[in-house]
Amino acid sequence: MKQLQFPMFPDSKTMIIYLTIFCLVIPIFLFLLTGKKSSQKLPPGSLGFPLIGESLSLLRAMRSNTAEEWVEKRMRKYGAISKLSLFGKPTVLIGGKSGNKLIFSGDGGVISNQQNDSLRAILGESNLLELSGEDHKRVRNALASFLKPECLRQYVGKMDEEIRGHIKMHWQGRHEVTVLPLMKTLTFNIVCSLLFGLEQGMRRERMIEWFQVLIGGVWSIPINFPFTRYNQSRRASRRIQEMLKELLDEKRVELEEKGGCSANQDLITCLLSLRNEENEVILTDKEIVHNIMLVMVAGFDTSSVLITFMMRFLANNSTVYSAVLQEQEEIARSKKSGELLTWEDLAKMKYTWRVALETLRLVAPIFGGFRKAMNDIEFGGYVIPKGWQIFWASPVTHLDDTIFRDPLKFDPNRFENQASIPPYCFVGFGGGPRICPGNEFARVETLVTIHYLITQFTWRLLLDDHFIRDPMPTPTKGMPIKICPRETSMVL
Ligand code: HEM
């Protein structure tokens, strides 16, 4: 039988046919394959210029208070996921309920927390925002041991004294005050005394000055030339860290002299005294310093902004104002003259807290944040490549009319039944394992401050004060108001 044989070397005619097929079909095949892959893979959008990308456009929008529109425009153009370059990194912006769910619940697995390079360089690489897994748990538990409600209830009286002292010094006897700088002074002093045990004086004064410079560089392009915001912020950070190291050494000596941490101690002393089962320190000095920096940034600017904007909304909404006043006066009437507020009093301030939450929904101090993809992640039919930055922004759900009806209306009653708000939609304090551990602390200082202000003064805005984001919402003139003492005000 004649065997069928394939020629080892095809003749020239066959060779030409093979080559033609190869030259025509393979490129078409490759084109289809890669074309399909790239449209399936990377989200729409453009990475733009290296390093700068869309950073300047976002920062410009923040400073002109159009950041919400900036995000909305992208969402309308590209959908719930799009690619861009922010602060020197390839990034995807994701939004909506499912985007927030991925951000806030995927932590430690497919995504890890990672803020922009500027923030890391400024706060230090051991701050909680940079840690994940076991390290995050260990450091977070250490902070939470001080910030949890059972511990905070002991500090309501101390906070109350600090706030009364502030009002006496900066509000009483005045006709006009500028709210934002005063609230910054107040929340900075609260953080200094309750968290750091740092008494009034030169050190506090210098510290607040440096912190203002530091915060200016938190959302900046990491270009380290003299006079860039980033460079100034890093220099301020170095100075603060040196001061904090000194403070740590002093507290350690005090702790050794006293032979342990007692109740009513500050956060630094508590962190220094924490030990594991083997009696080893839980946090290194570097971790303590970097996390104090974080708590300071996270704690003083956010609450001051919340209280300022609450006062702005109260000035513009007489019905809401009357309801808050009624709630606070009832509590004031139940107290003896000069008696400090208690944890139980705060539990009665339900409506006032709804006003705070509605303020956070409309003017969230934290506009958004960053994460990092630990693997390729599929989302909305696209792939977020491993190593890319993921950016979330709070207005995406806060201003979504399918979640919050009539979203631009200031209506605290929408928080009456918080269970009716779908999960991952109100993210003023974030969500999941990284939800703000300072939210109870912020609640206490906000409620106590509003209690004393509304029961002692009436106020009206002196200007229709526009605000910018720098990166925190900031009324351009600091929000000057006219104040009048209320006849029924409590005696201090
Ligand atoms: C109105 C006041 C506050 C607001 C609106 C606020 C908001 C937030 C948000 C949105 C996050 C999550 C960021 C993210 O997931 O990317 C966060 C985290 C954090 N906040 Fe707050 N915060 C406030 C007050 C405070 C206070 C008073 C403290 C400390 C005393 C604090 C300490 C922290 C810390 C340490 C984190 C990082 C948590 C982690 O990564 O596990 N915050 N905050």
pLDDT tens track for 317-327: 999 999 999 99
Structure confidence by residue, pLDDT tens digits, 121-150: 899 999 998 888 888 999 999 999 889 999
- The rounded distance, in Å, linking the Cα atoms of 443 and 356 is 9
pLDDT higher than 70, residue 261: no
CA 311 – ligand 1 centroid, Å: 21
Percentage of the residues of the chain whose pLDDT score is greater than 90:
61
Choosing from 184, 310, 436, 444 the residue with most ligand 1 atoms within 8 A of its CB, the one to mutate for a pocket test is 436
Please tell me whether residue 385 adopts helix, strand or coil conformation. coil
And the tokens for 450? 């509003």
User: Where residue 51 falls among pLDDT bands split at 50, 70, 90?
Assistant: low
CA 375 – ligand 1 centroid, Å: 26
Q: Where are the alpha helices (DSSP H) in 79-201?
A: 96-105, 117-123, 133-147, 149-152, 156-170, 179-190
Q: Which residue has the tokens 């968290």?
A: 195
Q: How high is the pLDDT of residue 32?
A: 40
Q: What is the pLDDT averaged over residues 11-36?
A: 43
Peptide bond before residue 181 is cis, with ω within 30 degrees of 0: no
- The rounded distance, in Å, linking the Cα atoms of 125 and 119 is 9
Closest CA relative to residue 323, chosen from 416, 424, 429, 200: 416
The conformation of residue 154, written as its DSSP 8-state character, comes to G
* Strand duo 89-94 + 389-393: pairing: parallel
**Residue nearest (by alpha carbon) to ligand 1 atom 9:** 429
Q: What is the mean pLDDT of the chain?
A: 87
Peptide bond before residue 485 is cis, with ω within 30 degrees of 0: no
Contacts with 471 (C-beta within 8 Å, 6 or more apart), sequence order: 62, 218, 219, 367
- The rounded distance, in Å, linking the Cα atoms of 211 and 51 is 26
Q: Which residue has the tokens 């990166």?
A: 471
- The rounded distance, in Å, linking the Cα atoms of 152 and 156 is 7
Closest CA relative to residue 309, chosen from 187, 474, 168, 425: 474
Order of strands, sheet of 176-178, starting from the edge strand that comes earlier in the sequence: 176-178, 480-485, 457-461
Q: Is the CB of 43 under 6 A from ligand 1?
A: no
CA 297 – ligand 1 centroid, Å: 9
Measured CA distances, 311 to 165, 249, 471 (Å): 19, 40, 20
Give the highest mean pLDDT range of 22-31, 209-218, 365-374: 365-374
CA 125 – ligand 1 centroid, Å: 17
What amino acid occupies position 203?
A: R
**Residue nearest (by alpha carbon) to ligand 1 atom 27:** 299
Q: Is the CB of 106 under 6 A from ligand 1?
A: no
Q: How high is the pLDDT of residue 5?
A: 39
- The rounded distance, in Å, linking the Cα atoms of 159 and 122 is 29
Contacts with 432 (C-beta within 8 Å, 6 or more apart), sequence order: 103, 104, 105, 107
Measured CA distances, 258 to 132, 249, 252, 253, 261 (Å): 34, 14, 10, 9, 8
pLDDT higher than 90, residue 373: yes
User: Where residue 260 falls among pLDDT bands split at 50, 70, 90?
Assistant: low
Q: Is the CB of 357 under 6 A from ligand 1?
A: no
Ligand 1 atom at minimum distance from 140 CA: 41
User: Where residue 6 falls among pLDDT bands split at 50, 70, 90?
Assistant: very low
- The rounded distance, in Å, linking the Cα atoms of 200 and 427 is 34
**Biggest alpha carbon–alpha carbon distance for the chain:** 119
And the tokens for 37? 């892959």
User: Where residue 286 falls among pLDDT bands split at 50, 70, 90?
Assistant: very high
Please tell me whether residue 467 adopts helix, strand or coil conformation. strand
What amino acid occupies position 399?
A: L
How many helices (H) and strands (E) are present in the chain, helices listed first?
Answer: 18, 12
Task: Name the pTM for this structure.
Answer: 0.87
Please tell me whether residue 219 adopts helix, strand or coil conformation. coil
Neighbours of 242 (CB within 10 A): 11
Q: What is the pLDDT averaged over residues 357-378?
A: 94
- The rounded distance, in Å, linking the Cα atoms of 393 and 314 is 26
Q: Which residue has the higher pLDDT, 297 or 483?
A: 483
Structure confidence by residue, pLDDT tens digits, 197-241: 887 788 888 888 898 899 888 777 788 888 899 999 999 999 999
